[in-house]
Amino acid sequence: MNIISALQWRYSVKRFAPEPVAPALLHQLLEATGLSASAFGLQPYRLLLVESPALRRRLLAHSMGQHKVVEAPHLLVLAADVGPDERLVSRYLARLAEVRGADAAALSAMSDHYLSFLAAQSPGARREWAHQQAYIALGTLLAGAALLGIDSCPMTGINPAGYDRELGLAEQGLATTAICTLGYRHPEDAQAGLAKVRLAYDELVRRY
């Protein structure tokens, strides 16, 4: 499928078939999500694949009754990294040095620049920035899933604080942004055959 066909095909699945996504294909999708655009390349988020059935049942209580959380083959939680700025930056620069072999002076200058940017934000703005970066990754996840023929349903109608407690995220410096179920549409999902309704191109796109 080309990207238009893939995105026309995708929709937010309401009922999933029980068949899981093949491990290699799921790995490819999550790897693609990790290649998403990110401010400075810092990736202030983590992808949490919740595989425990018992944990997923507990998360249902914080999901506004959306049974896809337990019924879909896969549940992914996108969590923003709201921990110490120094940890976020040092992890990235260590990876940068490993991949590109940057010298110490360049790394020091980059560290100062990134930390200055983060320090200039209020705690609330810094937290919101991390959530925004996770949403960018969510967009990549959804497009990538469609191109791979994997169905998805992103959800923000949850209690993030409840997810944080169940997953022990505060202790890790993380905070729930959104969740996404993955798998394949059930043949009896009533939403599957509906035409997609979106703004017409000329209404959506404005030129200046």
- Which helix (H) or strand (E) element contains residue 190? none
Helices and strands in the chain, H and E counts:
9, 4
Residue with tokens 């490993």: 98
What residue type is assigned to position 90 of the chain? S
Q: What is the pTM of this model?
A: 0.95
Residue ranges and CATH numbers for the domains of the chain are 3-83+123-204 (3.40.109.10)
Is-contact 15 188, C-beta < 8 A? yes
pLDDT tens profile 9-37: 999 999 999 999 999 999 999 999 999 99
Q: Residue 1's pLDDT is what?
A: 78
Instruction: Write a three-state SS string for 97-148.
Output: HHHHCCCHHHHHHHHHHHHHHHHCCCHHHHHHHHHHHHHHHHHHHHHHHHHC
Q: List, in order, residues 6 or more apart from 146 with CB less than 8 Å away.
A: 1, 6, 7, 9, 10, 152
Q: Give residue 135's pLDDT band: very low, low, confident or very high (50, 70, 90).
A: very high
